[in-house]
Amino acid sequence: MLDLRPGQLEILNEQDHVKLLRSHDLGRIAVVDREARPLIFPVNYFFDEGVVVFRTAPGSKLELAPGAYVSFEIDGWDPGQEVGWSVLVKGIAHDVTSPRGAPTGRMRFWPVRPAAPGSREHWVGIWAYEITGRRFMSDPRALTENLHESS
């Protein structure tokens, strides 16, 4: 990753995506409900082999995610450095609670640790087909130019 200048935007590469996804454990999944509404849920996850795995209890995520196109996102903002970044994963979700082969069987041993109370016995994997990421340093001088001129 680059040494950013104020106002600079960096498009992250695959190596950066993997590094960021593997060094965090809290992200958000977006699914679409039956009324075509996108919904966002924070989840604890583990990433490996191009798959984001999280655990869940019966509910919206388990009803809507398996078999569907979903998105997953992590981001960060360092107020001291004024640097922000995000990684977006597009993928197809599958229920991996009952392993059907070697790769999904291994996932059940991944360290997915939900912070929320309650039993989360269902395991869902998001097979990524596109990962994008960006990183930027904010430019305080540009903020005023971005203000809305409605007044």
Partner 1 sequence: MKAAELKTEVEEIPEAECLDILGQHSLGRIAIVADGQPQIFPVNYAMSGRIIAVRTASGSKLSQAPDTKVSFEIDEHDASAGVAWSVMVQGVAVDATEAFDDVSWTARAAAAPWSLAPGAKPHLLAIEPTIITGRRFQVRPASAT
Q: Which is nearer to partner 1, 101 or 118 (CB)?
A: 118
- Binding segment (CB under 8 A) for partner 1, from list 7-15, 45-53, 96-104: 7-15
Q: What is the per-residue DSSP string for 4-61?
A: PPTT-EEE--HHHHHHHHHT--EEEEEEE-TTS-EEEEEEEEEEETTEEEEEE-SSHH
Tokens standing for 107?
């996932």
- Binding segment (CB under 8 A) for partner 1, from list 13-21, 45-53, 99-107, 135-143: 135-143
Compose the 26-65 pattern: x for residues touching partner 1 by CB under 8 A, - for all others. x-x-xxx--xxxxxxxx-----------------------
Q: Which is nearer to partner 1, 11 or 101 (CB)?
A: 11
Q: Which is nearer to partner 1, 5 or 101 (CB)?
A: 5
Interacting residues of 131 by C-beta distance below 8 A, sequence separation 6+: 14, 17, 21, 87, 88, 89, 90
